[in-house]
Amino acid sequence: MRPNDLAEIRLLPLFSGMQQDCYDRLMLAAYVQNFPKGLTMIRQGDPADFLFILLEGQVELFASWDGHETTMAVLRPMGTFILAATIRDAPYLMSARTLERSRIMMIPSTNLRAIFQEDSAFAMAIIHELAGCYRAVVRHTKGLKLRTSRERIAAYLLRQAHLAGDLRSYFLPVEKRLLASYLGMTAENLSRALKSLEDDGLKVDGSRVILTDPEKLGLVAKLDVLIDGG
Amino acid sequence: MRPNDLAEIRLLPLFSGMQQDCYDRLMLAAYVQNFPKGLTMIRQGDPADFLFILLEGQVELFASWDGHETTMAVLRPMGTFILAATIRDAPYLMSARTLERSRIMMIPSTNLRAIFQEDSAFAMAIIHELAGCYRAVVRHTKGLKLRTSRERIAAYLLRQAHLAGDLRSYFLPVEKRLLASYLGMTAENLSRALKSLEDDGLKVDGSRVILTDPEKLGLVAKLDVLIDGG
DNA sequence: CCTGACACTTGATTTTTGTCAAGGGAATTG
DNA sequence: CAATTCCCTTGACAAAAATCAAGTGTCAGG
Q: What does DSSP assign to residue B47?
A: B
Quickly give B64 CA vs C13 C1' distance in Å.
35
Distance separating alpha carbons of residues A59 and A164, to the nearest angstrom: 19
Average pLDDT value over all residues in chain B: 96
**Chain A residues touching residue B120 (CB < 8 angstroms):** 117, 120, 123
Q: Single out the residue of B99, B225, B206, B76 nearest to residue B162, CA to CA.
A: B225
Task: Give one DSSP letter per residue of chain A, joined into a string.
Answer: --HHHHHHHHTSTTTTTS-HHHHHHHHHH-EEEEE-TT-EEE-TTSB--EEEEEEEEEEEEEEEETTEEEEEEEE-SSEEE-HHHHHHT-B-SSEEEEEEEEEEEEEEHHHHHHHHHH-HHHHHHHHHHHHHHHHHHHHHHHHHHHS-HHHHHHHHHHHHHHHTTS-SEEE-SS-HHHHHHHTTS-HHHHHHHHHHGGGGTEEEETTEEEES-HHHHHHHH---HHHH--
| ipTM of the complex as predicted | 0.96
pLDDT of residue B6: 81
Q: Is B89 left (phi over 0), alpha (psi -120 to 50) or beta?
A: left
pLDDT of residue B150: 97
Cβ(A149)–Cβ(A185) under 8 Å?
yes
Q: What does DSSP assign to residue B91?
A: B
- Are A93 and B68 within 8 A, CB to CB? no
Question: CA angle at residue A21 from B112 to A116, to 5 degrees?
Answer: 35
Cβ(B135)–Cβ(B182) under 8 Å?
no
Q: Which CATH architecture has domain A3-133?
A: Sandwich (2.60)
CA distance A120 to chain B (A): 7
- State in words which class domain A147-228 has: mainly alpha
Q: CATH 2.60.120.10 in chain B: give the residue spans.
A: 3-144
Q: CATH 2.60.120.10 in chain A: give the residue spans.
A: 3-133
Give SS3 for B83: helix
Reply yes or no on whether the pLDDT at B1 is more than 80.
no
Q: Which CATH architecture has domain B3-144?
A: Sandwich (2.60)
- Are A227 and B65 within 8 A, CB to CB? yes
- Are A93 and B135 within 8 A, CB to CB? yes
pLDDT of residue A7: 84
Distance separating alpha carbons of residues B107 and B22, to the nearest angstrom: 13
Predicted confidence band of residue B64 (pLDDT cuts 50, 70, 90): very high
Quickly give B214 CA vs C16 C1' distance in Å.
25
**Chain A residues touching residue B224 (CB < 8 angstroms):** 65
Longest dimension (CA), chain B: 59
Q: CATH 1.10.10.10 in chain B: give the residue spans.
A: 147-228
pLDDT in tens, B31-59: 999 999 999 999 999 999 999 999 999 99
Reply yes or no on whether the pLDDT at B3 is more than 80.
no
Nucleotide nearest to A148 (CA to C1'): D16
- Are B131 and A72 within 8 A, CB to CB? no
Mean pLDDT of B186-201: 97
Reply yes or no on whether the pLDDT at B2 is more than 80.
no
10-residue block means of pLDDT along chain A (230 residues)? 81 95 95 94 97 96 97 95 97 97 96 95 97 98 98 98 96 97 98 97 96 97 97
Nucleotide nearest to A191 (CA to C1'): C9
Q: Single out the residue of A87, A60, A61, A221 nearest to residue A154, CA to CA.
A: A221
Q: CA-CA-CA-CA torsion for A219, A229, B69, A190, nearest 10 degrees? A: 60
pLDDT of residue B24: 94
Cβ(A86)–Cβ(A95) under 8 Å?
no
pLDDT of residue B220: 97
